[in-house]
Chains A and B, each alone.
Chain A
Amino acid sequence: MTQRARNWLLIAPSGALLLVMLVLPLSFVFVFSFGERGPSGGYVPAFTLEQYANLPARWTAFKNTLILAPLGTLAALLIAYPLAYQLAVRTDPKWKTLLLVLVIVPFWTSILIRSYAWIYILGGQGLPALLGSIGIENVRLIYTPFAVTIGIIYGYLPLMVFPIYVALDRLDMRLLEASGDLGARPMTTFLRVTLPLSVPGVATGCMLVFILLMGEFLIPALLGGGKVFFVGNALVDLFLQSRNWAYGSAVAFTLIVIMLITVTIYMRLIARLQTGREDVAVM
């Protein structure tokens, strides 16, 4: 057997699985999005753009996702950056790995269980009761956009810290010293040296979190209580409750297209930022 044939044989089983469980199902979503709903739910073959024309009916879900996903990503970034900086630059190397692992561990435990813990904290008996005891009455936290944002930050913070940490950890400390020796104040060094060099990590972290948030279902389902819902919640409703497969497929396909467009624009922007800086570095 030639080496080429052997390589083909090695990738054949996984290739087949990708075809049957990824390409085929996604093609179904595409085809179904041009179909019609059957009388008792499901799908009737047709070619119509009716489902896409109906998209504005689910506008609130798209609006919530497109507002809260970037907002949650930004909030996670603002909280993650100082921590990643502290871990990568200011921590004794002896403790670095342990402290980093402590940040990442929660990410690999069930997000379902971690999210519902916030029902306790934000629910009537939790923080609002605590605030009530110091005189701030009638604060409502659970089932608000605030609760969903907290859930998002909590759920995805580890994913944001990790890439930023990696970027900052690779940083050549001599650059920072050089900047200081040349008379730059610590803040200037941070803004002109550290921050630009950590852009790749920031970019990766934001993209990972943003992509996962676009398809989020659990956090709004548990902490938004039907009032704050994402496209993911609309999809669950369309496929499992009202069984409107054609319309649901159109919503899902639109979500994928929006994701592809935002991620592409985003990567272009980051790439431009990078090349811009390389010129400076050469100078």
Chain B
Amino acid sequence: MNITLRIWRQANASAEGRMVTYQVQDVSADMSFLEMLDLLNEDLTLKGEEPVAFDHDCREGICGMCGVVINGTAHGRGESPVPTTTCQLHMRSFEDGATIDVEPWRAGPFPVIKDLAVDRSAFDRIIQAGGFISANTGAAPEAHAAPVGKLQADRAFDAATCIGCGACVAACPNSSAMLFTAAKITHLAMLPQGQPERYSRIKTMIAVHDEEGFGGCTNIGECAEVCPKQIPFDTISQLNRDLIASLFKKDGK
């Protein structure tokens, strides 16, 4: 296959960016999207041009490091028959001769570092605000001390599969990180171990979410549509229920 790429090039956070057109030849249908970018970068390097910077690591759809907007949708969801990360999108999803637009996640709280790589450290700060259970090493009771019903366990698991890639934010017109936050809220709220901090956690996490500049949720649903791990949209309902309930809790927060 031969592909035309139009890629966002931006030297650093303060530089101005622009779309630049490249041709990539001899693309195989079995290549992943990132392997196709590797091919471009090998070619650019040999020509003495600067390769395109993009984040990636595990290349098996689990670390959450990769992520670009492809033809207008996060992780190329619009091109893929199934939910996917960028690394698991394969070139068989494209026609020979296709022109593909490649852009970084675009959201205020995710400033561009270079080309397609962005800074997602705001996600870590949301977790720091309460996305955990306070259980010091060594202090744990026997694992079977607190059984968890299978339905709750499964719901916790579904929410816990979030990989923190940021596609939800990139897809949201409000740049809201509500699906990311709700996934962690729901994961921990479903488990008996998560109960003691359930209603304090939500207030501190939402506060940091807002401070970081992420927008509010207006129930558009693009986030869940592009989510490679299919975090259920109703986790946001769970978050809202818990947030309202938390207003009536006297927990000193």
**Do chains A and B stick together as partners?**
no
